[in-house]
Structure 1
Amino acid sequence: MRIAVIGAGALGGLFATLLEGAGHDVTVTARGAALSAIRADGIRLTGGFGDSHAHPRALERLTETPELALVCTKAQDAERAITDNAELLNGCPVIVVQNGLDGVRTAERILPNSDCFGLLVIVAANYTEPGHVTVTTVAPSYLGRGTGAVDGTTLRWQAILGPALHTRSLDNFVGAQWTKLVVNMLNALPAITGLSVQDVVGSAPLRRVLTASMRETVQSAVKRGVRFGSLQKLSNRRLRLFSHLPLWAGQVLPLRMRARMGGVPNLGSTLQSLNRGQRTEIDYLNGAVVREAALAGLPAPINALLTALVHEVEASGTHLTPAQVLARFAAL
């Protein structure tokens, strides 16, 4: 099958390599150093899925319509990337591989003739350098759309992609996006401090802040009438219970997440973006919580400050110490 992968960062590089290894004809779009590196030496994959070396066709923009497209850019780059390729993608099935809540809706708006789906990815992958991806945590990915039961078209694509991408189909995909957003609260503090996710969770004071950001996320979703989808052993019932726990008890949630990561340092996608000198997707993670909370008539001061601190680090290029971070939160 002719498959286009839009964006060749950590997840785009991972999926392009796995798809080519499964026998698909893969084209990737990339820019700058990534485009040059892939054209010169392909994509090297190491870590949890084994070592492999793919040589997909690499372009700045698509030149022909694929049979399937995966949009693997960061959330803040999705609209531009889809628009740049819209003439060839409109009418093609599209799977959006992104954090946050807006990716599928963005694709549906720009590509009204396309069947659009979302893919939730739990795999932890580091974009080591252009053309090189290292997988630190292996996990399945989850395909779906809407708030209802899985439909026949979703099952068809799951059957095609499943062997290569370890894909499962998922009911209540929108609710699962919210569940993944809770998980993605792990990203902000590593970006601010430069510490790994494991080290952040291992610090009791930082873990308290992290737990508070997760609780705000869940409380905002509940107020917005969201029914959480089941993902990573998190369910609607468990997350609603978590939203009522005191912070000292709620910290079991990030501690369990850390236990599933293993010992290889997980930097989180937001810190990886900062390390590459790129804009982060924080406005689509913690920033999304702030917007959704406002729509629900709730404050979200923890997530608002986390968003602001990531932007400060983006602007200054300097991480904050844990003590500096905690001093800022003490002012709340």
Structure 2
Amino acid sequence: MKIGIIGAGALGGTFAALLSRAGHDVEVTARGAGLDAIRESGIALSGAYGEVRARVAAGDRLATAPELVLVCTKAQDAASAIASNAELIGEVPVVVVQNGLDGVATAARLLPRASCMGLLSIIAANYTEPGVVRVTTPATSYLGRGDGPADAECTRIAAVLSEAVPVVAIPGFRGAQWTKLVVNMLNAVPAIVGRSVQDVVDDRRLRRVVTASMRETVRIGIAQGVRFGSLQGLGDRRLRLFARLPLVIGQVLPWSMRVRMGGVPNLGSTQQSVRRGQPTEVDFLNGAVVREASAVGRDAPVNRALTVLVHEVEQLGASLPAERVLADVPV
């Protein structure tokens, strides 16, 4: 199948390399040094899925009409990247592989003739060098759209993607997006202090802050009437219980995620953006919790403070001491 991948960073590079290895005709879009590296040497993938050197077509926009499109840009770049490729995409299926809650709606608005769906990936991959991706934690990815059951097209696309990496079509995709948002609360604190996710969760003081941001996210989801989808052992019942627990007990949740990651340092996507000198997705992660809280007349002080601190790190281009997190985040 002819597959176009918009955005060849950590996840886009992973999917591009693995789909190419599976025999698909892959074209990617990239920018700057990343584009230059892919044109010169291809995408170098290592880690949990093995060693792959994928020689794929690459440009700043798609050059040939695809049969399937994966949008793998950062959330803040999605609208412009989709718009610049909209004419070529036309009516083909579009899979948005993105953090946050708004990606599928953004794609559907800009691509009214296309069939848009979302993919939630728990794969952990480090992309700190142009054209080079290392997968630190493999995982199943979850495909769907809306609140209903998985439809026939989602099931078909999941089967195509599963030729490269495990993908399951799921019902209740919106609820699963919220569960992934809870998982993404692992991102902010490591980016602020410049340490791996594992190091942060191992630190009792910082683990408490991460737990508070997760619990606040779940509580806002409950206030929104969300039924959380099942991802990586997390589901509605477990998260609702977690929302009622005191922080000292609730810390078992980030700890269990840390154990699943293993020993290879996981920087998290937010910190990787900081290290590359690029804007982060914090406004679509912690910032999304703040906006969703406001929509139901509530506050999200933990995630608001973390959003501010991540933006400070972006501006400084340097990490902050753990004491700033402990002082500024109301836990």
TM-score, scaled to structure 1: 0.98
Aligned position for 1:70: 70
Deviations 1:6-25 (A, max 9, x none): 00101111101011111111
- Counterpart residue type for residue 174 of structure 2: V
Aligned position for 1:99: 99
Task: Say what the alpha-carbon RMSD is for the aligned residues.
Answer: 0.9
Structure 1 distance, partners of 2:30, 2:288, is 26
The 4+ residue runs of structure 1 with deviation greater than 6 A are none
Structure 1 distance, partners of 2:295, 2:328, is 26
Question: Cα distance, 1:316 vs. partner?
Answer: 1.0
- Give the unaligned 5+ runs of structure 1: none
1:25 matches 2:36: no
Aligned position for 2:11: 11
Aligned position for 1:58: 58
Residues 170-209 of structure 1: matches in 2 within 5 Å? 170-209=170-209
3-state SS in 2 of match to 1:171: coil
Question: Cα distance, 1:92 vs. partner?
Answer: 1.5
Structure 2 distance, partners of 1:84, 1:165, is 28
Contact 2:128/2:275 (8 A) holds in 1: no
Question: Cα distance, 1:220 vs. partner?
Answer: 0.4
- Counterpart residue type for residue 267 of structure 1: L
1:326 matches 2:307: no
| Equivalenced residues, count | 331
Structure 2 distance, partners of 1:62, 1:318, is 35
Aligned position for 2:247: 247
Structure 2 distance, partners of 1:202, 1:5, is 36
Structure 2 distance, partners of 1:181, 1:90, is 30
Contact 2:148/2:172 (8 A) holds in 1: yes
1:112 matches 2:112: yes
Deviations 1:179-203 (A, max 9, x none): 0000000000001000110111111
Question: Cα distance, 1:302 vs. partner?
Answer: 0.3
Question: Cα distance, 1:252 vs. partner?
Answer: 0.7
3-state SS in 1 of match to 2:183: helix
Aligned position for 2:283: 283
Question: Cα distance, 1:90 vs. partner?
Answer: 2.7
3-state SS in 2 of match to 1:119: strand
Structure 2 distance, partners of 1:239, 1:116, is 28
- Counterpart residue type for residue 41 of structure 2: D
Aligned position for 2:305: 305
Structure 2 distance, partners of 1:71, 1:165, is 16
Structure 1 distance, partners of 2:329, 2:69, is 42
Structure 1 distance, partners of 2:273, 2:171, is 31
Aligned position for 1:258: 258
- Counterpart residue type for residue 189 of structure 1: V
- Give the unaligned 5+ runs of structure 2: none
Question: Cα distance, 1:309 vs. partner?
Answer: 0.2
3-state SS in 2 of match to 1:85: helix
Structure 2 distance, partners of 1:17, 1:161, is 12
Question: Cα distance, 1:159 vs. partner?
Answer: 1.4
Question: Cα distance, 1:318 vs. partner?
Answer: 1.9
Deviations 1:219-254 (A, max 9, x none): 101001111000110010110111111111111100
Deviates more, 1:88-97 or 1:307-316: 88-97
Aligned position for 1:147: 147
Question: Cα distance, 1:120 vs. partner?
Answer: 0.5
1:295 matches 2:295: yes
Deviations 1:60-106 (A, max 9, x none): 11122200000000001000100011111131110000000000000
Aligned position for 2:314: 314
Question: Cα distance, 1:169 vs. partner?
Answer: 1.2
Contact 1:65/1:92 (8 A) holds in 2: no
Question: Cα distance, 1:296 vs. partner?
Answer: 1.3
- Counterpart residue type for residue 276 of structure 2: R
TM-score, scaled to structure 2: 0.98
Aligned position for 1:81: 81
Structure 2 distance, partners of 1:301, 1:252, is 22
Deviates more, 1:281-290 or 1:161-170: 161-170
Structure 2 distance, partners of 1:270, 1:158, is 27
Structure 2 distance, partners of 1:85, 1:160, is 22
